[in-house]
């Protein structure tokens, strides 16, 4: 047994090291860009000028400062996706933003896209779900925790981005319900629980729509999404929800849909692990924001009287110039603990284990292919103090290391496969 003072010391060391090295707050933003780079009907080179949109979007981005930025209604041509990178995000000394690839399996003229801060996130993979009016894009991001390079330890966020079917009639509702079913049926096949976000322009006029109910009251309770602000109701043309309406910023005119602010079309929904922080990511209560919405412009344009003081005047004007939608954003707290969560970068296996430990360390190895693994433990001088081989069959194995004879302190755990893939973690012995 170690002395109580020494035990307290290592507990404090563990807590402080984790909080200093592995906590962060990131911002996620969703925005319908209104035919960015695509002209149709009254959206022409004058009313839908990309250079003017870029100027407005630069002001908005500089004000919000998102780390993850998802969009709807961007042209199918790659040059416009790059233009947001080069003319809006990576400017004035900023060079850390990247974008995902384009998909257009549905052969539409406007697409979705995801941009992300590479200082904080990496894109593990992406793909699209088909069967709706447009591609539903899926992006799996991993957080670049400070110890990622040597520990292989991270948390993941999977983001679904959709521009659901239009029309306020039974056909439109049925199409949106079908698209919601595509998403939920797919999630049911994925590992759960997990950090999922579902965001985009949903075009839903009511929280009672079958598609929205499928998302938030799914028969499979393990995969339900949650509205972070819990404002589910009959949104359309209802002043009760004036503070949450996202469309339209205009009452009439040119490219912009008119009618004033009277619909809640734009959302960021979160899975329960994000609401409850069970998988290293937590929604920051009170952070969900409809930018530019002051609740005083029901059925009015964004710049109509009374003066909109919810954001600086230049931001209100930029929002009005940019789109007929308002963007929404929220903050997420990343809390990356030292325990293994899931390995990345093409590894064929993953490792989880208890940390800190007393007399035993229990490791769980999950692998895509059976094989032999070497488990090694090193002290801070680099001396190997434990070394064992284990054969893994059936995709998983549990191994218990007896550490009772080791002194309290910091160690480094390495797990390597016969394929020469290797991952290392820090481990604290109390």
pLDDT of residue 148: 54
**Looking at the predicted structure, is the pLDDT value of residue 192 above 80?**
yes
Tracing tokens 């070394």 back to the chain, one arrives at 387
What is the arithmetic mean of pLDDT over 153-174?
94
Query: What does the pLDDT look like over 61-110, one tens digit per residue?
Result: 999 999 999 999 999 999 999 999 999 999 999 999 999 999 999 999 99
User: What is the rounded distance in angstroms from the CA atom of residue 180 to the CA atom of residue 178?
Assistant: 5
Query: What does the pLDDT look like over 25-51, one tens digit per residue?
Result: 999 999 999 999 999 989 999 999 999
Query: What does the pLDDT look like over 283-313, one tens digit per residue?
Result: 999 999 999 999 999 999 999 999 999 999 9
More confident residue, 309 or 345: 309
pLDDT of residue 169: 96
**Looking at the predicted structure, is the pLDDT value of residue 424 above 90?**
no
Count of H-run helices and E-run strands, the chain: 8, 20
pLDDT of residue 253: 80
| Under 8 Å between Cβ of 319 and 20 | no
The residues near 277 (Cβ < 8 Å, ≥ 6 apart) are 333, 335
User: What burial letters (b/e) apply to 161-185, b meaning 16+ CB within 10 Å?
Assistant: bbbbbeeeeeebbebbbbbbbbbbe
pLDDT of residue 420: 60
Contacts for 304-310 with beta carbons within 8 Å, 24 or more apart? 304/251, 304/260
More confident residue, 381 or 17: 381
**Looking at the predicted structure, is the pLDDT value of residue 430 above 80?**
no
The confidence band for 154, taking pLDDT boundaries of 50, 70 and 90, is confident
| Under 8 Å between Cβ of 269 and 288 | no
More confident residue, 428 or 26: 26
pLDDT of residue 423: 79
What is the arithmetic mean of pLDDT over 180-190?
97
User: What is the rounded distance in angstroms from the CA atom of residue 212 to the CA atom of residue 226?
Assistant: 10
The confidence band for 116, taking pLDDT boundaries of 50, 70 and 90, is very high
Q: H helices of 28-70, where?
A: 50-64
pLDDT of residue 153: 54
| Under 8 Å between Cβ of 109 and 76 | yes
What is the arithmetic mean of pLDDT over 192-214?
96
The confidence band for 209, taking pLDDT boundaries of 50, 70 and 90, is very high
**Looking at the predicted structure, is the pLDDT value of residue 226 above 80?**
yes
pLDDT of residue 10: 45
pLDDT of residue 8: 52
Rg (CA), the chain: 24
Q: Extract the tokens encoding 154.
A: 């991270």
Q: What is the SS3 assignment for 63? A: helix
More confident residue, 424 or 405: 405
**Looking at the predicted structure, is the pLDDT value of residue 168 above 50?**
yes
The confidence band for 9, taking pLDDT boundaries of 50, 70 and 90, is very low
More confident residue, 319 or 427: 319
Containing H/E element for 38? none
Tracing tokens 């209100």 back to the chain, one arrives at 316
Q: Where do the DSSP E strands lie in 76-178?
A: 97-99, 110-117, 121-129, 136-143, 156-163
Pick from 22, 121, 142: nearest CA to 68: 121
More confident residue, 364 or 34: 34
More confident residue, 20 or 27: 27
pLDDT of residue 14: 42
Percent of the chain whose pLDDT exceeds 70: 89
> What domains can be seen in the chain, in order of their start residue?
17-335 (3.60.10.10), 346-429 (2.60.40.2550)
User: What burial letters (b/e) apply to 122-160, b meaning 16+ CB within 10 Å?
Assistant: bbbebebbeebbbbbbbbbbbbbbebbeebbbbbbbbbb
**Looking at the predicted structure, is the pLDDT value of residue 347 above 70?**
no
Query: What does the pLDDT look like over 376-418, one tens digit per residue?
Result: 999 988 899 999 988 888 778 889 999 999 998 888 888 888 7
Query: What does the pLDDT look like over 125-152, one tens digit per residue?
Result: 999 999 999 999 999 999 987 655 444 4
The average confidence (pLDDT) of the chain is: 89
């Amino acid at each position: 047994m170690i002395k109580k003072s020494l035990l307290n010391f290592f507990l404090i060391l563990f807590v402080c090291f984790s909080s200093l090295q592995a906590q962060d707050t990131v911002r996620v933003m969703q925005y319908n860009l209104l035919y960015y780079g695509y002209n149709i009907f009254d959206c022409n080179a004058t009313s839908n000028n990309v250079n003017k949109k870029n100027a407005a979007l630069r002001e908005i981005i500089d004000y919000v400062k998102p780390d993850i930025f998802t969009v709807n209604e961007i042209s199918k041509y790659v040059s416009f996706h790059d233009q947001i990178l080069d003319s809006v995000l990576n400017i004035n000394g900023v060079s850390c933003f990247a974008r995902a690839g384009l998909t257009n399996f549905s052969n539409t003229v406007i697409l979705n896209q995801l941009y992300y801060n590479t200082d904080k996130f990496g894109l593990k993979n992406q793909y699209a779900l088909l069967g709706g009016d447009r591609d539903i894009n899926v992006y799996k991001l991993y957080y670049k925790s400070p110890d990622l390079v040597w520990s292989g330890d991270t948390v993941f966020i999977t983001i679904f981005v959709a521009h659901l079917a239009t029309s306020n009639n039974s056909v439109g509702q049925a199409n949106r319900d079908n698209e919601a079913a595509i998403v939920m049926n797919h999630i049911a096949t994925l590992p759960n629980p997990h950090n999922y976000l579902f965001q985009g322009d949903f075009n839903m006029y009511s929280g009672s729509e079958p598609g929205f109910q499928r998302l938030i009251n799914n028969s499979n309770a393990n995969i339900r999404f949650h509205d972070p602000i819990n404002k589910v109701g009959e949104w359309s043309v209802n002043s009760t929800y004036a503070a949450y309406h996202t469309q339209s910023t205009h009452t009439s005119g040119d490219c912009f849909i008119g009618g004033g602010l009277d619909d809640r079309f734009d959302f960021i929904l979160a899975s329960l692990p994000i609401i409850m922080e069970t998988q290293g990511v937590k929604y920051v209560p009170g952070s969900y924001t409809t930018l530019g919405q002051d609740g005083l412009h029901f059925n009015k344009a964004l710049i109509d009287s009374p003066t909109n003081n919810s954001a600086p005047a230049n931001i209100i004007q930029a929002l009005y110039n940019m789109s007929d939608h308002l963007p929404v954003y929220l903050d997420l707290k990343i809390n990356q603990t030292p325990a293994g969560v899931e390995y990345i970068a093409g590894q064929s296996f993953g490792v989880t284990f208890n940390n800190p430990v007393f007399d035993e360390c229990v490791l769980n190895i999950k692998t895509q292919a059976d094989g032999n693994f070497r488990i090694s433990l090193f002290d801070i001088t680099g001396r190997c103090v434990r070394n064992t081989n284990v054969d893994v069959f059936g995709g998983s194995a549990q191994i218990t290391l007896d550490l009772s004879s080791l002194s309290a302190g910091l160690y480094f755990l390495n797990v390597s496969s016969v394929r020469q893939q290797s991952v290392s973690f820090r481990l604290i012995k109390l």
